Amino acid sequence: MSRFQIKDKFYLDGEPFKIISGSFHYFRTVPEYWRDRLLKLKAMGGNTVETYIPWNMHEPKRGEFNFEGMLDLESFIKLTDEVGLKLILRPSPYICAEWEFGGLPAWLLKEDGMRLRVNYEPFMKEVEAYYDVLMPIITKYQIDNGGNVILMQIENEYGYYANDKSYMQRMMDIMKKHGVTVPLITSDGPFPENLNGGSIEGAHPTGNFGSRTEERFKVLENYTNGGPLMCAEFWVGWFDHWGNGGHMTGNLEESVRDLDKMLELGNVNIYMFEGGTNFGFMNGSNYYDELTPDVTSYDYDGILTEDGQITEKYRRYKEVISKYTEIPEVPELSESVIKRGAYGELKCEEKVSLFSVLDDISKKTSSVYPVSMEKLDQNYGYILYHSTLETEDAIAKIRLWDTADRANILVDKKPLITLYDLELAKEAEILTDEEIAKAMALPLEEQMKLSQRGKDLDILVENMGRVNFGPRMEHQRKGIGQCVQINGHMHNNWDMYTLPLDNIDKVDFSKDYIEGTPAFYKFTFEADECTDTFLDFEGWGKGCAFLNGFNLGRYWEIGPQKRLYIPAPLIKKGKNEIIMFETEGKVKDIITLKDEPDIG
């Protein structure tokens, strides 16, 4: 059996081993393309691949596990070995990764008072139950068991979050108890305050940064006890959030110089080698002064594009890497041909209002007061709150207390107002005092004609992606958590419809379409050849798209992303179906499938 050790350098079977790794998240790329991406990493000179493991995907409901399809972790591990790469696994409960809730399962939030990423028994109990299932899958592939896993991470950037050493110790003890024998690492920001809080004896500290390599490594040297220096996340680009004004890109010349210095002085894991896609509702968010949810594409200005195309950055990095290792011949790569293609304009064939199909795709729960998604055992998507204006003649002012993240409010199936993030935390004025006074001055008979009493009130709330970084993570319940206040009083008696949209096949397009309301739109196209393609949603407002039942992710006219990536393996030869769920009522009769991306 082989052995991997940490001394003054990394050693594999007694010989120095310089880690030249690239981050690739198996859960962001369809499995049919895993080999292509791994071969391209090897052909660039990489000898190692690194991946997070997303708890929320593998245990979507408490005690229910999924390791199939894009989540077939064991097949991915075997493939990395078959391709000839070593593997770094980051199985910590929290992964950040600009991923929904940083990889933590949303069902943790059902429990009042839940504390995350500290030595809090209800949290640790769930971590242990998860590891009871996960660890037997991955420990058998450790290098000292005949596999290719050389390192595992205890926690992720913990020094940015907290400094509970008892938690870190317990995490390490749990991993060892479950059979982890390869060396353990921590990865933190490259500053003393991060490394002080996130490092722990028995795990080798590494740093995460994207520039100033020499300066960052000098700080890290103070924590490695003469051991090897490693940047565990060399940020080669950055992620996009909706409305940020344009695709984020790095400085290539600076990045190339930093990589060179990094390999001269130590070891590297390039983040991201390929970013991939936040399919479904799995994008994360950040929150500093305001909510900034990430776009569906996780292109990251990586070494490969979102759809795996080789970039100039790839070619330049390969030149640098060739100074430190021999670039291998990878003849198998010539057999990996992935095409882009355009299927043209598709015309809308059928459409139906969300209100018409509620009972088909959701189950009603009734309550005197509204409750959050998590309390109704819902993790992602949308939730609709329905009531009747029984005592209000008109909504003059409205406020949604403890609500996240975005609310479309309709009265009598007509849009009234949309509130987002900070707007939800204050009272919205629908009618001015002057308008109210003018209406009240009318004869009673005229007032009654204008009255909204007895009309439907509907509030569609969207989870835009839970925050994946910082203390706000403990406050990420979605939907309406407290109450709806109308004209200064709480409004009661609600029917609630959870809408994770994981059953899109149940949408009945024979039912009524109501213009201007949230609705579903169906398109079809024939495919003689299956190629990668890109869904152009120009002219549409906001929502999400499905191909043959698979959730491609969110779209939003504010950009910067203007097209959604569709990998060829999701397309069938013959007839294919696309369903758009549009919440703003802003639609066109067409969508277009084009042969190149547009991410701003």
Per-residue pLDDT reduced to its tens digit, 413-442? 999 999 999 999 999 999 888 888 887 788
Can you name the residues that pair with 406 across neighbouring β-strands? 420, 462
Kindly report, residue by residue over 87-101, the tens digit of the pLDDT: 999 999 999 999 999
3-class SS string, 428-482: EECCCHHHHHHHHCCCHHHHHHHCCCCCEEEEEEECCCCECCCHHHHHCCCEEEE
pLDDT at 182: 98
pLDDT at 272: 98
Q: Identify which of 349, 354, 407 has the alpha carbon closest to the alpha carbon of residue 518.
A: 354
Q: pLDDT tens string for the chain (600 positions)?
A: 899 999 999 999 999 999 999 999 999 999 999 999 999 999 999 999 999 999 999 999 999 999 999 999 999 999 999 999 999 999 999 999 999 999 999 999 999 999 999 999 999 999 999 999 999 999 999 999 999 999 999 999 999 999 999 999 999 999 999 999 999 999 999 999 999 999 999 999 999 999 999 999 999 999 999 999 999 999 999 999 999 999 999 999 999 999 999 999 999 999 999 999 999 999 999 999 999 999 999 999 999 999 999 999 999 999 999 999 999 999 998 777 899 999 999 999 999 999 999 999 999 999 999 999 999 999 999 999 999 999 998 999 999 999 999 999 999 999 999 999 999 999 999 988 888 888 778 887 777 777 899 999 999 999 999 999 999 999 999 999 999 999 999 999 999 999 999 999 999 999 999 999 999 999 999 999 999 999 999 999 999 999 999 999 999 999 999 999 999 999 999 999 999 999 999 999 999 999 999 988
For the domain covering 4-335, report its CATH number.
3.20.20.80
Tokens standing for residue 503: 């059953």
The residue annotated as part of the active site, out of 100, 155, 233, 462, is: 233
Contact 515, 390 (CB under 8 A): no
pLDDT at 128: 98
What's the rounded Cα separation, in Å, for the pair 592 and 431? 40
Q: Residue 220: enclosing H or E segment and its boundaries?
A: helix 213-221
- Asked whether the domain spanning 344-351+507-594 has the same topology as the one spanning 4-335, the reply is no
What's the rounded Cα separation, in Å, for the pair 90 and 271? 13
Domain boundaries, the chain: 4-335, 344-351+507-594, 369-492
The sign of the dihedral angle between the CA atoms of 467, 423, 406, 126 is positive
Contact 59, 104 (CB under 8 A): no
Architecture of domain 369-492: Sandwich (2.60)
The residue annotated as part of the active site, out of 157, 306, 462, 582, is: 157
Tokens standing for residue 33: 């393309």
- The predicted model scores a pTM of 0.97
Q: Is 233 a catalytic residue?
A: yes
Q: Identify which of 276, 271, 308, 310 has the alpha carbon closest to the alpha carbon of residue 295.
A: 276
pLDDT at 441: 85
Q: Is 582 a catalytic residue?
A: no
Strands (E), 275-404: 285-287, 291-293, 344-347, 350-353, 364-367, 382-388, 397-404
Q: Using CA atoms in the order 78, 84, 86, 92, what is the torsion angle rounded to 10 degrees?
A: -30
pLDDT at 339: 96
Burial grade of 449 (CB within 10 A; 0-12, 13-18, 19 or more): exposed
Residue identified by tokens 């078959």 is 82
Helices (H), 292-432: 312-321, 354-361
What's the rounded Cα separation, in Å, for the pair 424 and 587? 26
For the domain covering 344-351+507-594, report its CATH number.
2.60.120.260
Q: If DSSP codes are grouped into helix, strand and coil, which group holds residue 345?
A: strand
pLDDT at 493: 98
The sign of the dihedral angle between the CA atoms of 64, 68, 70, 71 is positive
Which residues 6+ apart lie within 8 Å of 302 measured at CB?
Answer: 236, 237, 272, 273, 274, 275, 311, 313
Q: Half-sphere exposure (CA, 13 Å, Cβ side) for 379?
A: 18
pLDDT at 86: 98
